[in-house]
Structure formats: structure tokens, C-alpha cells
Amino acid sequence: MPEIPVGANGAFTLVVAPEYLANRFKDSILPPVLATPLMILAMENAALNAIRNYLEPGQSALGTAVDIRHIAATPVGQRVTAKAEVTLVEGRRIVFAVTAHDEVEEIGMGTHERMVVDLRRLTRRLEGKSSPL
């Protein structure tokens, strides 16, 4: 695996669609704002984008931990941009500082970890977990 440098960064942008709202995604009693899991999805994609060019063919990086605060609500139609920066690399484990902003303000921040994996090995392991019906 090529060395992933501390400071490598990436971004991911989404436009808040009706299906991303907390009141549709989770519970109809919630207000029509971006659901936290979708903000985290954007942060995870930003993290993967930060390291994608350092991965060898046949490798990817799976999310293993999130510690996120969702601090402001975002309505439908707003553009959300998540950013990630590598803060620590320990072997296959990579730690990121992540943030998300809508068109007005910061809406979330925290840390996220990913683990570099060999996709063929992972596929074999998953096949071993599958049971025929």
C-alpha cells in the first residue's frame, strides 16, 4: 500500500433531496431537515475521496468508527459540502477530521476512521458468511 500522507484531504457534495430528510428517512414527526445519517454519509464519502488516489488496485477503505456532532439543521434544496482531512495513519487504520457545511453555516464536525482492505480477501470472507437458503 502506498503511504497515505497526513494532511491528505477530500470533499463530497450533495444537494438535500426530499428523501434525505429526517421526517422521511426516519420518523414522520421529525422536522423537514437533513437526516444525520445522510450528513455522515457525505463525511464518509469525503474521507474516501481523500485517500482514493493512494489505494492500490483491488483495495478500498471501509468505515470503522464515527464520532460526529450534528449542530445545525439544513432544509431541502441546500447544497451540503463535507470535507475530510487525514490526521493519523497507523498501518491500515486511517483517522480523519471531518466537517460539513450547508450554504449558510457549519452543520457538523467530528472524527471518522477507515480501514484499508483487500477487496478479494473481503469478498472471500463474506462468501464464507453466506448461507444458502
Q: Which one from 19, 56, 64, 70 is the annotated catalytic residue?
A: 70
Does 44 participate in catalysis according to the annotation?
A: yes
Please say if 70 is a catalytic residue. Answer: yes
36 is a catalytic site residue: yes
Helix, strand, coil percentages (3-state) for the chain, rounded to 5, are 30, 45, 30
Q: For the beta carbon of residue 8, count every other beta carbon within 10 angstroms.
A: 20
Distance CA 47, CA 61 (A): 9
Q: Which of 44, 74, 99, 112 is catalytic?
A: 44
Single out the catalytic residue among 3, 13, 36, 64. Answer: 36
How far apart (Å, rounded) are the C-alpha atoms in residues 122 and 124?
5
Catalytic residue numbers?
Answer: 36, 44, 70
